[in-house]
């Protein structure tokens, strides 16, 4: 504090609200009692207090997540125990317990339940508290509550989530998901090398969340909303097709084919061969990136089963010193050739490190 005085221990207490009644308290004729003393909620300090002396309540009645009504023989003064008492909490005969609001805000609509509960009117309670604050020790005649009011609390408010939100979104309502949280696929900016991966990740997303994406229109719209940058103009053209009567986007399968035609990197075996033969180890690709790119293009070349041709194409991408090292090892499979090239690179990295590079 600015006064350099130690903060009193009484200032450290469990957060309290007027909606979260102290456990062990009991309502009797419109007034709350705890430990045979009358209590009230002080809105200025946001604390429950004893009417006699205005001392704050201890933390124990607020440490549980739920309000637990007290028993008359413990909560009420002796002269009130023989009178009828309205219990604040569960409806008589019901097994469900009253779930109190544990939030620090008293704003309307922050309750965590939408069950219909029976308890005394909040307006009557606040009026009673205001009177208690002004009485300064003067007894106030009790205000009888003839019958507890039935009030339906508003549902818990949640922030709406749009499909392009960057946060992880919980799909608890998906059948059989058990509350799995799925991240959105990475956005597509027109990079042709990522076309197939983008469509594959969208397809996997739709498979996991099959209940939410149960129509082709939803799948197409979601995919388009993830397009940006260089793909934005094409995206807007596709969105315009939703405005036609009927929409002309077609099915999800037709849309994927149209997407690949527009953004697919490789459309023929010859084009794949040209791209693979142009790969070189250097500033654009390090060894790891070159190998990854080579693996992406191989399926389009139609040589998956020809190990010697894959070895030849792969070593052609390497400088002579690495190529010689690989050939001296006499690899029989592409996997072996790739491993020998990696070993050579790691060896030179170690030498550079020893030389301080």
Q: Around Cβ 285, how many Cβ atoms within 10 Å? A: 16
What is d(CA 46, CA 44) in angstroms, rounded to the nearest whole number? 6
Give every CB contact of residue 286 below 8 A, 6+ residues apart in sequence.
Answer: none
Non-local CB neighbours of 217 within 8 Å, separated by 6+ positions: 242, 247, 249
The pLDDT of residue 73 is 84
Q: Is the peptide bond before 246 cis (omega within 30 degrees of 0)?
A: yes
Which two three-digit tokens encode residue 66?
A: 């739920």
Q: How confident is the model at residue 238 (pLDDT cuts 50, 70, 90)?
A: very high
pLDDT of residue 132: 53
Q: Is 165 exposed, middle or buried (0-12, 13-18, 19+ CB in 10 A)?
A: exposed
Reference 100, options 137, 62, 66; nearest CA is 66
DSSP characters over 243-269: GSSS-----HHHHHHHHHHHH-S--SH
Please give the radius of gyration of the chain, using alpha carbons only, rounded to the nearest integer: 36
Structure confidence by residue, pLDDT tens digits, 172-199: 444 445 556 778 899 999 888 788 889 9
- Residue owning tokens 């991966």: 197
- Euclidean distance between CA atoms 276 and 119, whole angstroms: 75
Which is more confidently placed, 36 or 112? 36
In the chain, where the domains are located:
9-152, 169-263, 269-354
Question: Is residue 185 within 8 Å of residue 202, measured between CB atoms?
Answer: yes
Q: What pLDDT is recorded for position 115? A: 38
Write down the mean pLDDT value for the chain: 74
**Cα distance between residue 150 and residue 91, in whole Å:** 10
Strands 26-28 and 31-34: antiparallel
User: pTM value?
Assistant: 0.36
Residue 289 has pLDDT above 70, yes or no: yes
Which residue, chain included where needed, has tokens 């009692």?
A: 33
Q: Are 26 and 85 in contact (CB under 8 A)?
A: yes
Task: Indicate the helix (H) or strand (E) that contains 117.
Answer: strand 116-119
* CA–CA gap between residue 341 and residue 339 (Å, rounded): 5
The structure tokens listed for 349 are: 């990295």
What angle do helix axes 307-316 and 334-354 make, rounded to 10 degrees?
Answer: 30
Rank 143-157, 300-314, 323-337 by mean pLDDT and report only the highest: 323-337
Find the mean pLDDT for residues 58-72. Answer: 81
**Mean pLDDT to the nearest integer, 235-242:** 91
Q: Can you give the three-state secondary structure of 224-235, one letter per residue?
A: HHCECHHHHHHH
Average the pLDDT over 9-25 and give the result: 78
77: pLDDT strictly greater than 90: no
Which pLDDT score is estimated for 130?
54
Please provide the distance, in angstroms rounded to a whole number, between the alpha carbons at the two ends of the chain. 53
Tallying the residues shown for the chain, one arrives at 357
Kindly compute the dihedral angle of the four CA atoms of residues 109, 113, 118, 124, in this order, to the nearest 10 degrees.
Answer: -20
The mean-pLDDT minimum among 42-46, 138-142, 163-167, 229-233 falls in: 163-167
* Predicted local confidence at residue 129, as pLDDT: 55
């Amino acid at each position: 504090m600015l006064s350099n005085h130690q903060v009193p221990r009484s200032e450290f207490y469990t957060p309290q609200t007027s909606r979260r009644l102290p456990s062990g308290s009991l309502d009797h004729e419109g007034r709350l009692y705890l430990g045979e003393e009358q209590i009230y909620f002080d809105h200025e300090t946001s604390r429950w207090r004893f009417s006699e002396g205005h001392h704050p309540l201890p933390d124990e009645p607020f440490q549980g997540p739920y309000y637990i009504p007290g028993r008359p023989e413990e909560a009420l003064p002796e002269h009130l125990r023989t009178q009828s008492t309205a219990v604040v909490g569960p409806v008589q005969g019901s097994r469900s317990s009253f779930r109190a609001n544990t939030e620090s805000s008293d704003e309307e609509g922050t309750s965590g339940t939408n069950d219909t509960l029976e308890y005394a009117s909040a307006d009557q309670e606040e009026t009673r508290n205001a009177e208690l604050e002004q009485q300064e020790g003067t007894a106030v005649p009790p205000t009888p509550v003839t019958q507890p009011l039935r009030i339906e609390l508003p549902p818990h408010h949640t922030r709406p989530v749009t499909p392009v939100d960057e946060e992880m979104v919980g799909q608890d309502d998906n059948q059989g998901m058990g509350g799995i949280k799925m991240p959105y696929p990475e956005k597509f900016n027109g990079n042709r090398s990522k076309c197939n991966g983008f469509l594959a990740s969208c397809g996997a997303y739709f498979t996991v969340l099959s209940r939410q994406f149960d129509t082709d229109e939803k799948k197409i719209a979601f995919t388009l909303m993830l397009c940006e940058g260089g793909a934005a103009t094409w995206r807007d053209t596709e969105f315009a097709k939703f405005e036609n009567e009927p929409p002309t986007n077609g099915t999800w399968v037709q849309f994927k084919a149209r997407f690949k035609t527009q953004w697919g990197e490789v459309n023929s075996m010859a084009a794949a061969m040209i791209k693979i033969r142009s790969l070189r180890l250097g500033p654009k690709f390090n060894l790891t990136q070159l190998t990854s790119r080579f693996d992406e293009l191989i399926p389009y070349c139609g040589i998956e089963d020809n190990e010697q041709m894959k070895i030849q194409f792969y070593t052609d991408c390497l400088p002579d010193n690495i190529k010689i090292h690989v050939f001296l090892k006499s690899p029989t499979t592409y996997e072996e050739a790739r491993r020998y090239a990696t070993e050579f690179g790691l060896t030179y990295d170690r030498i550079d490190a020893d030389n301080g590079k």
